[in-house]
Structure 1
């Protein structure tokens, strides 16, 4: 059984948490003790409050909104799923960025009464920037518009304009009522004019893009293992997780950014030697030669080496209350590698309403901007659109350690 990671996003009160709860509830993925608790806490209409399955924070339960990113896991006979419930308020866009970074598919919820709104556009843009290519437009609360097909078709047409602008390749539109379970797990007779799959049927059939193995081999050292024992005094291993691709014993590799070369003498997984290891396995790599390798260095197959550079062009989602100004000094954290850097220029800012790019002198909280970054030492740079894992980074305040922005490498 393969794995599909998906995120639910959209504006506040569109019903994201209820939709996830309905998926879990109707697919029999709720444990008996949790089920008993839910059935004791019904809403004023007599329905089970399904949002309680995902809204775990006390503040979320009290306000009836999602603040933090929630992850839920469930399995059907056909597939395993990891669900990310992203908050809808604009001030929590940074949480949505975190949740979408590992997703293969995005469910964009739209309230049938409200239609496409600013957060619909914002979350679709963020999901597209983060490399998600499969989208479900879930038009929710169809029961509140009398299950009217014309309402659904108008929202589909409005969203198609967004999809065309962002060049989204795979979109399926489904009318649903998360509260009553219409078209969530099973197709509903109340929406008999709709001839497509239910939401779960589509999720079970959509191709998964989670496989990291087709990409070029990438591995970054997290820890250098040098046991201080007499019997292992010659042992030197480099531990980390394979970010993408496949590594094999005997591969000729290059250490970056130094450029030194060696050969993989041994690969260890769970303290056992193996002939090959694939992403996302955690491994220890041992090299034939005694070369200088430190935490944050990359070990790549020599014939597939990426660029090393001190100049990056990147897209940022700015996450700090304080605005970003050109020239600001900060840290680029690229997985295990942490280097000093500065934002040398803000090239453009994206208008959420029109998706147009305009000049900008600064970036405010939740702005999406394109920037130039100069690093103090070279870093390994893969384009995010070629390799989602290796092409992502964060910006960190060097004094406080606060995360300032999520970044996607566009070019170097």
Structure 2
């Protein structure tokens, strides 16, 4: 699939400050930081890596580990330990979490799916050990610090507003506050999550398979049972999991037209629905921080790599939260792309024809890897939803089973 190399009318103005880097990574979340650290370790000190993050660093203070998580997505599956160990981060992760403010062990899941009988799946027999329930913001802060200590520069409150491929570099305009900066980068990685901001600039389109959203809240955790809980209902399914700092996440996964219109902002409607579910009601406390609604559908981009750029994590393929694989997918695709970049030696190639061949090789290999991940995920996704047969006359489950 050909790349759309021009996404602005003209190159950035020469009057602006110019920042030159080998690799620019858009998004300083889990995937972006893992990619930055992996590439630094693979390519060495002479490779310059820059992270571009739209959020404000002031909103993620040094001691956020004691605060309520404000980002959806908290499950780090056992297999993620392999990546942390490969990058030399695991011992530091354990050390930084000595007081348990960043993560706590995930004991397993109690599921009410397909019938009213509780089914328990624990992690005792998993060869990778326990997974983790995270304070997502604290974990990202930890990775930010690991990246900067390895020489990676993070530009906060910054977005890419224009981009054009010119000879050896992507030439971009960055917006940071009221200022603009020119950025020259040999390779760009889109780690911007479901926004897929750079991939969209190159003409890639989001291909959604469904319209699921999640309404979610964090509450005080007053229960001794630390197992996560999944329970289905006629209009979707509920999820809850214990988090660090005596917190708990509670989320409803459904279609927006199946619930009250004001549920997006109305915590009372959310709590009323939650308390109507027998397995969720005992978990609800009086201390509630309601976050509203977020996207929770299955989708992918029509193009995940092009001329000296590639997308990772949710910017390439976004999974249903039921899979509990979103964060791991961001980490795994970051590692896969890093390996391809290292193997190609594309950053050190001066010959334009040779560089173009290397770029096509990366694009083809990475697209093939993402296609394989996508097919594997779809098989499991469709199979699991088809196990619930009790409400096939209801809109949510009728649409879910239509994927058979």
Common topology (TM > 0.5): no
Which has a greater percent of strand? 1
| TM value normalised by structure 2 | 0.22
Which of the two has higher C-alpha Rg? 1
Higher-RCO chain (CA-CA 8 Å, sequence separation at least 6): 2
| TM value normalised by structure 1 | 0.22
